[in-house]
Amino acid sequence: MGKTITIVLVSDNHGFRKPLEYIRMMHSDADYFFHCGDTELPPYELDGFAVVQGNNDYYSQYPLRKVLEIGTHRILLTHGHRDMIFGQYKMLAERAKAFDCDIVCFGHTHIFHDSEIDGIRILNPGSVWRNRDGTKPSYMVITLDGPDIHAERKELDLKSMK
Tens-place pLDDT, residues 88-140 = 899 999 999 999 999 999 999 999 999 999 999 999 999 999 999 999 999 99
Q: What is the pLDDT of residues 5-33, one digit of tens each?
A: 999 999 999 999 999 999 999 999 999 99
- β-bridge pairing 120-125 and 32-35: unpaired
Residue 162 pLDDT: 60
Dihedral sign, Cα of residue 58, residue 59, residue 63, residue 69: negative
Number of domains in the chain: 1
Q: CB of 79 within 8 A of CB of 58?
A: no
pLDDT average, residue stretch 144-156 = 97
Supply the CATH number for residue 10's domain.
3.60.21.10
For residue 115, what are the domain limits? 5-161
Pairwise CA distance, residues 99 & 114, whole Å: 20
Query: Quick one: pLDDT band at residue 82, thresholds 50, 70, 90?
Result: confident
pLDDT average, residue stretch 58-84 = 91
Residue 88 pLDDT: 86
Which long-range contacts link 134-137 to residues 24+ away (Cβ below 8 Å)? 137/19
Determine what percent of the chain is predicted with pLDDT higher than 70.
Answer: 96
Pairwise CA distance, residues 4 & 20, whole Å: 23
Closest CA to 48 of 106, 98, 12, 8: 8
